């Protein structure tokens, strides 16, 4: 019996080593750049890092990233000036763009569409919400004074849950996982999700909180809260309506919020009008993030917004 258990353990270890080698050899793992929190409590990526973002269980996305000196995934440095036309894109992982080569990002596409007449700075970081985004603008207030147009990407149900900014340290506590590419791969393809969900559910029940299913029925009552959170953030940080637009999907945004933005004369770039007019996929087949087609359509809309604003000056 002892000999059998020993053999099973030995074969198990050999299998793990073999899988680790295979995952590394075929680069199936995601190169996670290291994070840090700067003096303004903003979550950033450590500057100067390069690597490849890998998504999907068969390396369905293999995209190169480059972290600039300010800590964002970008093909350029952010050096706003009074000369020329400059655009800032601010958002979460959709703007961060780890699902696309950094030199074919939304910002780069906008520059190409406008024949190099603009420079686009992409302030995107995973999980950032509107509070983070407005705090970013405030933290770089001097730089943003020189930027001509600001496009803020928001997802209605995700980004308006806070009415005030509070620092959130998003540096994961399991950084040791990156030393095993096999563990990174297993986590990214979702094999650990059932365990995570079970732990989260147990924690929620122990703390007397709601599970996801319990809270789902409250979503219909959240529009007033989201609008009030939006108002609270804008009251605190301010909003330059002449040069700011919100990029959003109107098909998943409450009409009351859209009507509020319209009544307040706040510009909206609604990509629902181009995303759902045909059956061509605009997102990744295994993920809600935009694919190259989706990013091209987003870039077209942003370029059109900038062109119209320039014509109306």
What pLDDT is recorded for position 12?
A: 82
pLDDT tens per residue, range 207-236 = 455 444 444 445 556 878 999 999 999 999
What pLDDT is recorded for position 25?
A: 79
pLDDT above 70 covers a percentage of the chain that reads 86
pLDDT tens per residue, range 104-155 = 999 999 999 999 899 999 999 999 999 999 999 999 999 999 999 999 999 9
Question: What confidence tier does 175 reach under pLDDT thresholds 50, 70, 90?
Answer: low
**Range in 68-82, 182-196, 242-256 with the lowest mean pLDDT:** 182-196
pLDDT top residue among 95 and 31? 95
- In this prediction, residues 243-270 reach a mean pLDDT of 97
Q: What is the DSSP letter of 306?
A: H
**Phi, psi (degrees; rounded to nearest 5) at 245:** -135, 150
Beta-strand (E) ranges in the chain?
35-37, 43-45, 50-55, 61-66, 85-91, 118-124, 149-153, 244-248, 267-270
- Other beta carbons less than 10 A from residue 170's beta carbon: 13
Fold classification of 35-168+219-311 is Rossmann fold (3.40.50)
CB contact set of 15 (below 8 Å; sequence gap of 6+): none
What pLDDT is recorded for position 218?
A: 56
Question: What DSSP element (H or E) covers 94?
Answer: helix 93-96
């Amino acid at each position: 019996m002892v000999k059998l258990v020993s053999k099973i353990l030995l074969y198990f270890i050999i299998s793990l080593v073999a899988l680790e080698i295979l995952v590394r050899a075929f680069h199936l793992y995601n190169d996670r750049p290291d994070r840090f929190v700067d003096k303004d409590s903003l979550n950033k990526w450590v500057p100067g890092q390069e690597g490849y973002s890998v998504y999907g269980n068969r390396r369905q996305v293999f995209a190169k990233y480059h972290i600039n000196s300010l800590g964002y995934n970008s093909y350029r440095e952010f050096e706003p000036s009074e000369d020329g036309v400059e655009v800032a894109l601010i958002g979460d992982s959709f703007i961060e763009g780890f699902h696309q080569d950094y030199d074919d990002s939304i910002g780069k596409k906008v520059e190409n569409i406008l024949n190099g007449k603009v420079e686009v700075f992409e302030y995107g970081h995973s999980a950032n919400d509107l509070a983070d985004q407005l705090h970013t603008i405030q933290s770089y207030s001097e730089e943003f004074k020189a930027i001509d147009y600001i496009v803020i990407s928001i997802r209605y149900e995700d980004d308006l849950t806070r009415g005030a900014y509070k620092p959130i340290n998003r540096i994961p506590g399991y950084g040791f996982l990156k030393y095993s590419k096999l563990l990174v791969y297993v986590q990214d393809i979702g094999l650990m999700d059932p365990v995570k969900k079970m732990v989260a559910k147990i924690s929620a029940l122990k703390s007397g909180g709601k599970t996801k299913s319990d809270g789902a029925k409250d979503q219909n009552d959240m529009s007033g809260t989201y609008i009030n959170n939006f108002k609270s953030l804008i009251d605190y940080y301010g909003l330059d309506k002449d040069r700011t637009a919100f990029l959003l999907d109107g098909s998943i945004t409450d009409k009351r919020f859209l009507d509020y933005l319209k009544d307040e004369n706040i510009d909206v770039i609604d990509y629902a009008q181009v995303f759902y007019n045909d059956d061509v996929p605009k997102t990744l087949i295994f993920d809600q993030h935009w694919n190259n087609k989706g990013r091209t359509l987003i870039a077209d809309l942003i370029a059109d917004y900038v062109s119209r604003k320039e014509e109306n000056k």
